[in-house]
Amino acid sequence: MSLNRPLRDWSGKRVWIIGASSGIGAAVARALLAEGARVALSARSAPGLEHIAALHGDAALALPLDVIDAVAAEAALGRIVEAWGGIDFVLLCAGTHQPVRAWTLDATIARHLVDVNVNGVFNCLAPLVRQMQLQGSGAIGIVASVAGYGGLPTALVYGATKAALINLAETLYLDLAPRGIGVFLVNPGFVKTPLTDRNTFRMPALISAEEAAGEILAGIGRGDFEIHFPRRFTGWLKFMRLLPYRIYFALVRRGTGL
């Protein structure tokens, strides 16, 4: 049984992709525009948004946004509601990553990762939840990561932010599902993006951003709560979290070589 109402027909749907200038967000935006959705595109990089929007005329709306700015996030939502009369689906995938080990931990870097990956989501969520409650409908997708399942080398801060988003999405679902608002949790494995290009280690089961977008839309179409992929990789990580820590730590060290 689906935990969310399945979304399959995107024709005319009012969608906001936050983190749409590259990677997964850009790939989802292009896929939904091809399916006939109206898509508002937000990210800090205005040229990337404007390039996508220029190809789709009135169906696309470029709204540059730094998610750290709560006032700007609320204003951007106001522009969408003013233009389209409401909003049907939002994908929150703005985020950043920097490899951090315990001996390279820097509080300034940690605060920046938390501000973008966690506080940025809250800045967008607060006005979104109010708007969707007024409408009595809508759905929210939050892109976390399998790095949030358990501790992994180089993800000292990044993994902690993604674990926070997993918990957030679970609690959000408990609050909003009874009110007719859908919540989708997206936990990708390794996806080739400008962020993962920073990694210096082998990334198993690496997929393209376009493949990731296909997995996300398929999961939304099924009404899944958690959408994780590629399953040949994420399934193993889920299984490992059931093991005692002694075994879990040994497997992570063997698998990563770190």
Residue with tokens 């006005």: 127
Task: Give the three-class secondary structure for 204.
Answer: coil
Go through 221-247 and write b for each residue having 16 or more CB atoms within 10 A of its CB, e for each that does not. Answer: eebbbbbbbbeebbeebbebeeeeeee
DSSP letters, 35-65, are: TT-EEEEE-S-HHHHHHHHHTTGGGEEE---
The dihedral sign for the CA sequence 112, 117, 120, 126: negative
* Cβ atoms of residues 5 and 89 within 8 Å: no
Q: Residues near 92 by Cβ (< 8 Å), separated by ≥ 6?
A: 18, 19, 121, 124, 125, 140, 141, 142, 143
User: How far is the C-alpha of 197 from the C-alpha of 126, rounded, in Å?
Assistant: 32
Task: Give the three-class secondary structure for 229.
Answer: strand
The residue annotated as part of the active site, out of 149, 158, 173, 248, is 158
Residue 173 falls in the annotated catalytic set? no
User: How far is the C-alpha of 113 from the C-alpha of 111, rounded, in Å?
Assistant: 6
For 162, half-sphere exposure in the C-beta direction (CA atoms, 13 angstrom radius) is 26
DSSP state for residue 110 in the 8-state scheme: H
Catalytic residues: 158
